[in-house]
Structure 1
Amino acid sequence: MSTIEKIQEELDVLTEETRKHEIILYNDDVNTFDFVIDSLVSVCEHTPEQAEQCTVLVHYKGKCAVKTGEYKDLESKCSKLLQLGLSAEIL
């Protein structure tokens, strides 16, 4: 294996380990603004202002990335949002 191939292999491993994922929250016609804001504050640890901004983006754009991090850290947060009746997924 050449030095270049070895370095590229190491970079590929590092890139995969540090790859960030996002919880994407989608708009729905069921939940109120206040409920979504409260959910983002409690589950995603947003400030009230940040949660309000995300909620407005979801409403007008249809979706918004509400949390970024490693997949294993986002899994439980996304599950809690789904349990609350919100539409979310990890990308």
Structure 2
Amino acid sequence: MKMSTIEKIQEELDVLVQETREHEIILYNDDVNTFDFVIDSLINVCDHTVEQAEQCTILVHYKGKCAVKTGEYKELEPRCTKLLELGLSAEIV
């Protein structure tokens, strides 16, 4: 059975989407770090605006976790490592 051009393109697109799948850094709540420290960390490490950092910090506090950065794994890994070095609880998913 011969694939149509549209089917071939769709198959190639599906492969490309899988290869460039986005990941997220998830930041978890803890009982150690202050709101201000977490906000400053998100601004410095994840390039958040003040408003973004405040909103994420509130979500982490009340929901237990929040996705703080989305992108390719290789771009997120050094940021997540820095958050961990600062004593925050985070992982890439």
Q: TM-score, normalised by structure 2?
A: 0.88
Secondary structure at 2:90 match in 1: strand
RMSD between aligned residues: 1.6
How many pairs were matched up? 91
Gaps of 5+ in 2: none
Gaps of 5+ in 1: none
4+ aligned runs moved over 3 Å, structure 1: 4-9
Deviates more, 1:69-78 or 1:2-11: 2-11
Provide Cα deviations, 1:4-30, integer angstroms capped at 9, x if missing partner: 675454233211122111000000000
* Greater Cα radius of gyration, structure 1 or 2: 2
- 1:14 paired residue number: 16
Q: TM-score, normalised by structure 1?
A: 0.90
CA distance in 2, matches of 1:88, 1:70: 16
